[in-house]
Amino acid sequence: MPDSLFDKLDAEKKVGALGSLNADYSFSVASFPEPGSTIAAEGFALRPGGKSSNQIVQAALLGMDCEMFGQVGEDDLGGWLIEKLREAGVETGRISRKGPQSGCAFIMVDKAGENEIVVNSGANGLLGEEYVEGVKDALSSLSALGLCLEVPIETVEKALREVEGPVKVLNVSPMPASPSLDMARGADVVIVNEDEAKKALGKALPSSPDAMRWGMAAKILQKRDLPSAVITLGSKGSVVLDGGKAWPIAPRAVSPSDTTGCGDCFAGALLAGLASGMGLPDAAEIASLAAAFSALRPGAQSSYGTKEEIKKFAQQ
């Protein structure tokens, strides 16, 4: 049973995330505005976010030993973002502060739980290769390391190239203007959504998680000597591509309240499973349940569940 997999999470293994921290300005709207129009929001909240910060918070909520590696500005928001991570049980001692402005995101969520997001990178965009050099020993001591593309690609590539030791998981998001998975060769696992997978692999991929239909994509990865992959398919679940084979991961059907941060939740739970020594399909089962649970509550980090909450959810 998937809920029993949570008992295999090893709290002595350390998970790290290298990447972005954002302040999320979230507005609830009846529907998204048309160009040139002004609408009234039905609710507003300021919450901590950023893809990497979100991922490490979910891993921490699952009981893992966690540390965030990244950069915030020298503004009040930077201090607030660091404090929120500490409250979630994440180590923050190696987060640097540079520049006048922390990263932020403007998020609109409609009544169907769908979202539209605009991001300003702020201090995230100033995270240089020299930062990786300074924390390389700490990164190498991890059991699993999560990376994303909300910081400069050169910084991510240096980590992929030079950090040895942890399982390296690259969330290829936001997808570069010239999509390619070649940059991910230093990773052990990549996470992409359905649209990103089609752009990066350049093939007409199936729209269902059926293993036989996704076998072609698995063979493409293997032939090109690319990392294993998890393709997230939203309400259709996900599919694991590993060793030239495909494993469909069935979705947990829910009526979403807010899908903001669900992909980051998935990535954080996957990191926890891989750090604990699980195979990729088992880690993806945990990640799928965690992401489904998060869709039931508003926000990104504010919607994430603890290990016990998600286990209970899995038993329903």
Q: What is the pLDDT of residue 254?
A: 86
The pLDDT of residue 208 is 62
| Residue 30's pLDDT band (cuts 50, 70, 90) | very high
Whether the per-residue pLDDT at 204 is higher than 60: the answer is no
Is it the case that residue 203 has pLDDT exceeding 70? Answer: no
CB neighbours of 1 closer than 8 A, spacing ≥ 6?
Answer: 314
Average pLDDT over residues 263-269: 96
The pLDDT value recorded for residue 225 is 83
Q: What is the CATH number of domain 2-20+51-100+125-315?
A: 3.40.1190.20
In Å, how far are 2, 143, 167 from 163, measured between CA atoms? 32, 12, 10
Q: How confident is the model over 112-127, as pLDDT tens digits?
A: 888 898 989 999 999 9
**Per-residue tokens: 68:** 């965030």
The per-residue pLDDT for 144 is 98
**The two three-digit tokens of residue 108, written as one number:** 């609109």
pLDDT digits (tens, 9 = 90+) for 63-115: 999 999 999 999 999 999 999 999 999 999 999 999 999 999 999 989 888 88
Least confident span in 1-10, 172-181, 185-194, 293-302: 172-181
Q: pLDDT higher for 72 or 172?
A: 72
Residue ranges per structural domain of the chain = 2-20+51-100+125-315
**What strands lie across the sheet with 115-120, from one edge to the other?**
43-49, 22-28, 103-109, 115-120
CA 70/CA 54 separation, integer angstroms: 12
State phi, psi for 129 to the nearest 5 degrees: -65, -30
Round to whole Å and give the CA distance between 34 and 36: 6
Q: Which long-range contacts (CB under 8 A, 24 or more apart) does 236-239 make?
A: 236/207, 236/208, 236/209, 237/209, 237/288, 238/209, 238/266, 238/284, 238/287, 238/288, 239/209, 239/211, 239/214
23/250: higher pLDDT: 23
Is the predicted pLDDT of residue 40 greater than 80, yes or no? yes
Q: Is the pTM of this model over 0.85?
A: yes
Q: Please give the pLDDT value at position 226.
A: 82
What are the phi and psi torsion angles at 210 (to 5°)? Answer: -55, 130
- If you average pLDDT over residues 133-147, what whole number do you get? 98
The per-residue pLDDT of the chain, averaged, comes to 91
Question: Exactly one of 24, 65, 75, 264 is catalytic; which is it?
Answer: 264
What's the N-to-C CA distance of the chain in angstroms?
Answer: 12
- Whether the per-residue pLDDT at 207 is higher than 70: the answer is no
Per DSSP, 35 falls in state T
Q: What is the pLDDT of residue 212?
A: 65
Residue in 74, 27, 19, 33 with CA at minimum distance from that of residue 47: 27
**Alpha carbon distance 271, 184 (integer Å):** 16
With 90 as the cut, is the pLDDT of residue 167 above it? yes
Residue 3 has pLDDT above 70, yes or no: no
* Residue 198 banded pLDDT, cuts 50, 70, 90: confident
Q: Which residues fall within 8 angstroms of residue 149, CB to CB, at 6 or more apart?
A: 156, 171, 172, 173, 174, 175, 176
- Residue 247 vs residue 200, higher pLDDT: 247
> Within a 13 Å sphere around the CA of 144, how many CA atoms are in the beta-carbon half?
34
Which residues, in sequence order, are CB contacts of 46 under 8 Å at separation 6+? 23, 24, 25, 26
CB hemisphere CA count around 145 (13 angstroms)? 28
Rg (C-alpha) for the chain, rounded Å, is: 18
**Rounded Cα distance, 252 and 275, in Å:** 23
pLDDT band with cut points at 50, 70 and 90 for residue 206:
low
SS3 173: coil
- Residue 283 or 225, more confident: 283
Q: What is the DSSP letter of 4?
A: G
- The verdict on whether 110 is a catalytic residue reads no
